[in-house]
Amino acid sequence: MSVVKEECCEEEKYELVPPEGGWGYVVCVGLSVIFIAGTAHQPVFGFIYNDFLDELGVGTGAVTVIYGVFQVTLAIAGFSANIALKSLSLRQVGLIGAFIYTLASFLAIFVVSTTQLIVTNGFLQGLGMGLLIPVSYTSFNSYFTKKKVLYLSLCKASIGLITMLYPLFIKFTITQYGFRGTLAIICAISAHSILGALVMHPVQWYMVKKLKTCEKIVLIPPTPAIEAGKEKFHFNSNTTTAKGAENARSVENLYAMKRMGSQKPTELLFVPKLADSRRLSIPVVLIPGETKADSKFNSSDNVYLENLYKAASVSSLGNFGNIAAEPMPVIKNKEGKWQTIMEYLDLTLLKDLVYDNIIVGMALTFFADLTFFTLEPLFLDKVNLNRSQIANIIALGGATDMCARLFLGVAGQFFIMNSRYMFFIGALFAAAFRLVMIQFTTYLPLLILTGILGALRSLVHIAQPIVMAEHVPIELYPSAYGLYMLLAGAISLSVGPMIGFIRDFTGSYVVAFVMLAACNLCCVVPWAIEFIFRYNKERKLRNTDVS
């Protein structure tokens, strides 16, 4: 009969956790300021420069070129931000980006040619925002864990509100101060991005102590052969609850579970000090406490897990007197210059198939969202709606988007919402309602459907920065988001022109909207397959643990 011995920590231990507020509120304001200063005027770019481009005789075709250069530079700079962050802090990289963006806005006041406009509003502004976006989202995600949806919803709602009011503001400034005067005012607004970057303090300055319940070690001696159908081990009822037994993991099963794709890094070893010198038996069963261990290593590193598995073997365990058990040192073999480049740029993230699935799905869905709302006014004009009706439809879509963001912010105060499920639902229903929308050509149905699509858009925009933060360690977030930006830029440059060419060739916006819905489904279907696969794996693991 098995004998179970239970050891608890002798002394209470604390862990440092994000403040869930405090200076994080200032970071939220800084994030909103950065995006208002850097992106609010972009939807009215054509309105600002229309007369200027007509004077140059280049027409609005130059707007497409400038926007394309901006997108390419934004993607490359977002990816390159990871390289800068290896030697500089988040705030330093943010300030560099803010100064570049402000300089671009200042030089734009004096432009006299299309080439200069491409350099200032295309290249330099894309470079500045490419550095600012990963820094802003990384800082935000480092300050919050449980209330990310709440505060990001409020940030996005404030950005959306200012963006809605911006056309009226620009119309007023052009009337009062003219073209150059308006550019000077925009430059002053852009300079506020410097203030936004200044408040991106390291979260380590504001970490708070939280009592951490120590995990328990259940020592199980070697078990003799028993008859089939009987339990191998007997846990005391006061030692392990049913829930605890379900969550228990041996080190050997932990390694096998990791190889099968389960993402539970906090179940890796946290071993308290032992009161007496004692030789640990095999297997070691860990029962998680109420709080999660603060893992400082990359839990997805297979080399680490292999060494951890070896460290838990019979030959690797020794006497542990008043010290914490440590795995064997991690030794990685060098595989040449390419491996060094891969590690330096954190391209090893691409070996994580779940991460690959996330960024491909998000990039396609986000591209489809932006393209749809860009083409929708043209589609509405094609179905012979008047300008007043088109304006009402677009305004309702923006209003429902902002209201939904506020609603999600309030709901996030009372409910814990999974950001990936939010994004999945937004992508799925957006695709469905776009396919429904193309069946109508009258005012009222298009008004209602655009309002619904505007509300669904909020799910995608709010969840997008958080999805990756919930999958990768925060120290890898700039690299993860930079790779996503690079992929999003590549999709914009490849899939975008292809959809535009097909629309021009067929003369039908219906075909274009069907292709955009297909982009959403390229996110929904692989994510659904992953969810089903993960659910089945976890169910098998639970059944194995019970047996």
- For the stretch 351-391, pLDDT in tens is 888 889 999 999 999 889 888 887 888 888 888 888 888 88
Average of per-residue pLDDT values in the chain? 75
Q: How many CB atoms are located within 10 Å of the residue 406 CB?
A: 17
Q: Rounded mean pLDDT of 321-350?
A: 53
Smallest Cα–Cα separation from 368: which of 452, 426, 292? 426
Please, what are the domains in the chain?
Answer: 15-214 (1.20.1250.20), 347-546 (1.20.1250.20)
The amino acid that residue 433 corresponds to is F
Highest mean pLDDT among 132-136, 259-263, 398-402, 524-528: 524-528
Q: What are the phi and psi torsion angles at 96 (to 5°)? A: -60, -45
The pTM is what? 0.66
Of 158, 139, 140, 136, nearest in space to 149 by CA = 140
Task: Report the pLDDT value the prediction gives residue 336, as an integer from 0 to 100.
Answer: 59
Return the minimum-mean-pLDDT range out of 1-15, 490-504, 520-534. 1-15
In this predicted structure, what is the pLDDT of residue 141?
84
Residue by residue, what is the 3-state secondary structure of 103-155?
HHHHHHCCCCCHHHHHHHHHHHHHHHHHHHHHHHHHHHHHHCCCCHHHHHHHH
Strand partners, 28: none
User: Worst-scoring range by mean pLDDT, 159-173, 331-345, 452-466?
Assistant: 331-345
Residue 337 is predicted with a pLDDT of 62
Amino acid residing at 346: D
Model confidence at 189, in pLDDT bands (50, 70, 90)? Answer: very high
| Per-residue confidence (pLDDT) for residue 238, from 0 to 100 | 44
Mean of the pLDDT values across residues 313-338?
43
For 272, which DSSP code? P
What would the two tokens of residue 401 be?
């988007």
Give the pLDDT score at 527.
94
Cα radius of gyration (the chain): 27
CB of 269 closer than 8 Å to CB of 261: no
Rounded-to-integer distance, Cα 357 and Cα 354, Å: 5
What pLDDT digit, counting tens, does each position of 204-237 carry?
888 777 776 554 444 444 444 444 444 444 444 4
Percentage of residues in the chain having pLDDT higher than 70: 71
Give pLDDT tens digits for 492-523. 888 888 887 888 788 888 888 999 999 999 99
Residue 467 pLDDT > 70, yes or no? yes
Residue 428 burial (10 A CB sphere; 0-12, 13-18, 19+): buried
For 48-92, what is each residue's pLDDT tens digit? 887 787 788 776 567 777 877 888 888 888 888 878 888 888 889
